[in-house]
Structure 1
C-alpha cells in the first residue's frame, strides 16, 4: 500500500483531507481514462493540488491507484457485509435448513444487483471498477481486490451451493454453479447500456433496480430450489 503522510504544513487533519481529495479525483480520472490513459498531472489537476503531491502522498500513479482500490473495497464491503456475514452465520450451523441457506444466497445476489442503481455517488466508482475488472490496471491492484474482497464472497457462495446441492466445495460443479449465480448480478451492471436501450429506460432509479432485482432473484430461487430437489433425488 502507498505511504501515509500527513501534510508538512497544516497538520494531520489537513493531510488526510488532501489525500481523500486526491483519491476521489483519481477514481473519476481512472474511470474516465483508464490506468494507462491517466497521468499524475491529470489527477493532480482534478484534485486541485500540485503534481508533486501525488508522489508525496502515494509514491506515484500506481500508489494512488492502489489507494483508490482500497477506498472502493471499503465502500463495497460496507454494502456487502450484512448479506455476506448473514450467510456466514447460517453456514456456521450444520443444522441450518435449506430455506435459510437459499435466502442467504439470494441476499448476497440481491445486494450485487442493487449496485446497478444510478446515483451521483456511484457513477464514478462504477466506471473505475468496469475498467478494473476488464484487467486494465496494475497486477498488484488486481491481486488486492481479489484477496481483500472477491475471495471472501466467492468462498461463501461456494459453501452455500455445496450445502444446497450436496457437492463438495471443491467440486467443479460447485464452482460453475457459484459463478453462474454471482455473475447474474454482475451481468446487468456490465451490460447496463443494453439494458437501458432494451427497456427504453433513461436511468436505473430505485424502482427500476427493484424490478430487475426481483426478476433475477426469482430465477435464482428456481435454480437453487432445483439443486435441492436434485440432491434429494440423488440421495434417494
Structure 2
C-alpha cells in the first residue's frame, strides 16, 4: 500500500503539497497516455519533483494510480453524493410517491450530466476516467472504483427502477433500464467531439451543459413515467 508521510526535509505541509502535485500530474499523464504508456519519470517531471519522490510516497506507479483513483472518487462524491443520499432516504420511505421517486432519479442523472462541463480540472479527470473505464488500468484500481463508487450508485438506481417499474431488483429488465438511464448522461461525455461538431460548439460551458441537461432530463422523465404507466397497466 502507498505510504503517506511528510518529506523529511520539508515537514508535513511540504510533504502534503508534493503528494498532491504528483497526483495532479499523474491524472493528466495517465489520462493522456494511459497506464502502460505513462512513465514514472514523465509524471515526476510534470509534477516538478525528483523521481524518487514518487516511489517514496506511493511505492511505484500502481500505488500512484490507486491514489489518483481515490482522489477522483472523492471528487465524484462531492458532485454526486448529495443526490445519492437523497435517493437512499426516498427509498427508505415506503409511502413515498412515484413522482418523488422519479424526481430523485432525475437528480442523480442531473449530477452525472454536470460532469460534461469543461474546465481544466474536469477535462483532465474525464480523460483519466475514460481510459480507466475502458479497462486500461490495474485490476486493483478497477476493484477500488467499483467497490467505493459504482456499486453504491448502481444499487440505488436499480432499486429506484424496480420500484417505478414494479420489477424485482435483480430482474434483467431492471438492470437494463438502470444502465440505459445512467448512461444517458455519460454518453454525452464519451461522444463529446461529435456533440460539439453537430452543434458547432467549441466547448461545453455552463450554458451548453444546462441545455444538454434539460433535454436529457426531459427525455428521462418521459421514460420513467412510461415505466409507471406500464406497471399500472395504463399503456
Task: Please give the TM-score of this superposition, normalised by the length of structure 2.
Answer: 0.98
Structure-2 residue corresponding to 1:112: 112
What's the secondary structure of 1:228's corresponding residue? helix
Between the two proteins, the alignment pairs up a number of residues equal to: 235
Structure-2 residue corresponding to 1:210: 210
Structure-2 residue corresponding to 1:41: 41
Structure-1 residue corresponding to 2:121: 121
What RMSD in Å do the two structures reach over aligned CA positions? 1.1
- Measure, in 2, the Cα distance between the counterparts of 1:187 and 1:102: 21
Matches within 5 A, 1:1-236: 1-233=1-233
Structure 2: where are the runs of 5+ without partners?
A: none
Q: CA offset at residue 121 of structure 1?
A: 1.9
Comparing 181-190 with 225-234, greater Cα deviation is found at 225-234
Q: Deviations over 1:125-177 (max 9, x none)?
A: 11111111111111111111000001000000000001001111111111010
Structure 1: where are the runs of 5+ without partners?
A: none
- Measure, in 2, the Cα distance between the counterparts of 1:130 and 1:61: 19
Q: CA offset at residue 4 of structure 1?
A: 1.2
What's the secondary structure of 1:69's corresponding residue? helix
- Measure, in 1, the Cα distance between the counterparts of 2:11 and 2:115: 37
- Measure, in 1, the Cα distance between the counterparts of 2:35 and 2:121: 21
- Measure, in 2, the Cα distance between the counterparts of 1:176 and 1:102: 17
Q: CA offset at residue 18 of structure 1?
A: 0.7
Q: CA offset at residue 14 of structure 1?
A: 1.2
Task: Please give the TM-score of this superposition, normalised by the length of structure 1.
Answer: 0.97
> Which runs of at least 4 in structure 1 moved beyond 4 Å after TM superposition?
none
- Measure, in 1, the Cα distance between the counterparts of 2:135 and 2:222: 33
- Measure, in 1, the Cα distance between the counterparts of 2:180 and 2:121: 28
- Measure, in 2, the Cα distance between the counterparts of 1:17 and 1:28: 17
What's the secondary structure of 2:34's corresponding residue? helix
Q: CA offset at residue 119 of structure 1?
A: 1.1
